[in-house]
Amino acid sequence: MAAPNIETIVSLAKRRGFVFPSSEIYGGLGSSWDYAPLGVELANNVKAAWWRWMVYERDDMEGLDSSIILNRKVWKYSGHEDTFSDPLVDCRNCQNRMRADKLDLPAGFASIEEAIRHKAVKCTNCGETDLTEPRPFNLMFRTQIGAASAEDDPNALAYLRPETAQGIFINYLNVQTAMRRKLPFGIAQIGKSFRNEVTPGNFIFRTREFEQMEMEYFVRPGEDDAALNFWVKACFDWYARLGINPDNLKLYEQPKKELAHYAKRTVDILYRFFPERDDETKRWDELMGIANRTDFDLKTHSKKPEDAEGKRLNPDSTEDLSYFDEASKERFYPFVIEPAAGVNRSVLAFLMDAYTERETDKGEKRVILKLHPQLAPIKVAVLPLAKNKPEIVGMARTLKHQLQPHLRAVYDDTGGIGKLYARQDEIGTPFCVTVDHESLEDEAVTVRDRDTWEQQRVKIGELRNHLMKRLKN
Ligand code: GAP
């Protein structure tokens, strides 16, 4: 079956309670989305799977949860105040706002600026060619600390973090010391980030408020190239293990001109988010990136190094974040490999990849969301075959209560059994358990598999273990 487009997922997400447009009763808020009852479960499961894999299943990892609002100087020395901007272009005809780096460069021009000056670039909305020169627009959301306005008192100015990474760098020494870590080791963090994106859109693909899963892996200089290759493969395999078809993933080596100022090398993992697009290259977009950030971050936040005149390059920091290697008696700044993923883009990719359609014997179309059981919002639905039979309903409710401390279970009696199965298939529930008339006699229930629609009779006393085992496999 052809992969669905994002619109199919938007409609499923609203209909079945994964993601709702935010502030909808007030007309919405551009590109803001709320995670609905099933969406919050899915996102939590994605984050839990990442944390388990990244932190618990490794010997060289620590976790962190740093503040969203940090000292403004963090963003000064990280370079975000000066360079975290997108080149903005306006259409003078219809006021449409575009990112210059996302516009197609027409043949025969060396740069988009030159092409705009020669009126060779069309507005993506109205098609006119009267566009402004690109100008930098800083993406950080500004806020103020305390009662003074940031306009009157520059000390009151603060930002909502645009990435979780800097919270890790400024805690690097604390973590290393408190946890007695030696290189190589990593610090992982999951949390919200905010960017005043010029062109948000495509559902939860690009929003102004989003969530990141980032890890900074600290290594000796010289071990950075191998570490980057390791993490590229590990991240690719993580998505594939959790059910994404590897044919819908591909690696993208960022060319020199695209690299961030701090990066030696960056490899993006792309997902086929836009299968409906005519141009093959435009079907793919970034799911996550793995960057070699060199020793830029630890150096820039250090009170050292000094320049040629012995002047400290960072007069505001109180710490030197260099590393002393006991074995070799060397002091140096570790290099950093950073796998940086988006929770929201991961959720979208998992939803798109899980979406399948199947025809019933009667020729009806059924949607089946073949989510990996670890990610499925609900693991089991307990359904009574007859809702007017108190003994059957009672048994089904008791079963749900017995299962719920161990796995996410729901009870549903709001339709005929066919409809109830279809509803659970559409939200990705791996198993349905049906209590019928015979259950009252034989103390057994029917377990139905989402993917094969096969049914199996299981003794109630064995049900929990049966489900746990199948969910694990
Ligand atoms: N610390 C490095 C960093 O933040 P990034 O490529 O800008 O790198 C990492 O962001 C990931 O965060 C992206 O690959 C994407 O999954 C997610 N992300 C970034 N901006 C986003 C946005 N506006 N909306 C949703 N996800 C976003």
Indicate which atom in ligand 1 lies nearest the CA of residue 343.
Answer: 16
Q: Is 292 in the pocket of ligand 1 (CB under 6 A)?
A: no
Q: From the centroid of its chain, how far is CA 43?
A: 8
CB 262 within 8 Å of CB 302: no
Contact assessment for residue 86 and residue 139, using Cβ atoms and an 8 Å cutoff: yes
Token pair for 10: 């938007």
Alpha carbon of 39 to ligand 1 centroid (Å): 19
- Joined together, the tokens standing for residue 21 give 């447009």
CA–CA distance, 49 with 265 (Å, rounded to integer): 27
Residue 367 to residues 25, 381, 428, 450: CA-CA distances in angstroms? 29, 17, 9, 11
Residues 344-367 pLDDT 10s: 999 999 999 999 999 988 999 999
Average pLDDT over residues 64-89: 95
Cα 163 to averaged position of ligand 1 atoms, centre (Å):
8
Predicted confidence at residue 1, as pLDDT, reads: 53
Domain 6-69+163-352 class in CATH: alpha beta
Tokens 């020169």 correspond to 133
Q: How far is the CA of 212 from the centre of ligand 1 (A)?
A: 7
Superfamily of domain 378-472: Anticodon-binding domain (3.40.50.800)
Q: How far is the CA of 262 from the centre of ligand 1 (A)?
A: 16
Residue 220, pLDDT score: 97
User: What is the average per-residue pLDDT within 428-457?
Assistant: 97
Residues whose CB falls within 8 Å of the CB of residue 207, separated by 6 or more in sequence, listed in order: 31, 32, 33, 197, 200, 344
Strands 249-253 and 265-271: antiparallel
**Residue 383 alpha carbon to ligand 1 centre in Å:** 41
Average pLDDT over residues 244-272: 97
**Which of 50, 87, 61, 40 lies closest to 287 in space, CA to CA?**
50
Pocket flag, ligand 1, residue 66 (CB < 6 Å): no
State the DSSP code for 247.
G
pTM of the model: 0.94
Reported confidence tier of residue 307, pLDDT bands at 50, 70, 90: confident
DSSP secondary structure letters along 3-26: PPPHHHHHHHHHHHTSEEETTGGG
State the Cα–Cα distance between residues 262 and 295, nearest whole angstrom. Answer: 8
Ligand 1 binding pocket includes 346 (Cβ within 6 Å): no
- Residue 340 alpha carbon, nearest atom of ligand 1: 9
Tell me what pLDDT residue 304 has. 74
Does residue 198 register a pLDDT over 80? yes
d(Cα 201, Cα 195) in Å, to the nearest integer? 13
| Spacing, Cα 135 to ligand 1 middle (Å) | 22
- ∠ CA 270-276-282, rounded to 5°: 40
Task: Answer for the pair 144, 159: CB distance below 8 angstroms, yes or no.
Answer: no
Residue 310 confidence (pLDDT): 73
Regarding the beta carbon of 288 and ligand 1, being less than 6 Å apart is answered: yes
CA 454 vs CA 18, 377, 448: distances in Å: 26, 21, 6
Ligand 1 nearest-atom number relative to CA 204: 25
Task: Check if the beta carbon of residue 268 is closer than 8 Å to that of residue 283.
Answer: no
* Residue-range domain boundaries for the chain: 6-69+163-352, 86-135, 378-472
**Pure H helices in 17-131:** 37-51, 72-78, 80-83, 112-117
State if residue 294 touches ligand 1 by the CB under 6 angstroms criterion. Answer: no
Q: Is ligand 1 within 6 A of the CB of residue 450?
A: no
Q: What is the mean pLDDT of residues 436-440?
A: 96
Angstrom distance (rounded) from CA 336 to CA 422: 47
pLDDT at residue number 308: 78
Q: What is the average per-residue pLDDT within 221-247?
A: 98
CA proximity to 380, closest of 471, 462, 473, 451: 471
Separation CA 169–CA 55 (nearest Å)? 17
Whether residue 340 contacts residue 217, with contact meaning beta carbons closer than 8 Å, is answered with: no
Range scoring the smallest mean pLDDT among 108-117, 140-149, 250-259: 140-149
Give pLDDT, residue 313: 79
Q: What pLDDT, on the 0 to 100 scale, is given for residue 306? A: 76
- Quick one: pLDDT at residue 152? 79
How many CB atoms are located within 10 Å of the residue 222 CB?
Answer: 9
**pLDDT of 11:** 95
CA torsion 418→421→423→427, rounded to 10°? -160
pLDDT confidence of residue 153? 82
Q: Are strands 323-325 and 249-253 parallel, antiparallel or unpaired?
A: unpaired
Does the CB atom of residue 181 touch ligand 1 within 6 A?
no
Above 90 in pLDDT, residue 147? Answer: no
Number of helices (H), then strands (E), in the chain:
14, 23
* Cβ of 121 below 6 Å from ligand 1: no
> What does the longest C-alpha to C-alpha distance in the chain come to?
90
In SS3 terms, 351-385 reads as HHHHEEEEECCCCCEEEEECCCCCCCCCCEEEEEC
**Residue whose CA lies nearest to ligand 1 atom number 7:** 163
Question: Which residue reads 């604390």 in tokens?
Answer: 174
Averaged pLDDT of the chain: 95
Q: What proportion of the chain, given as a percentage, has pLDDT over 90?
A: 92
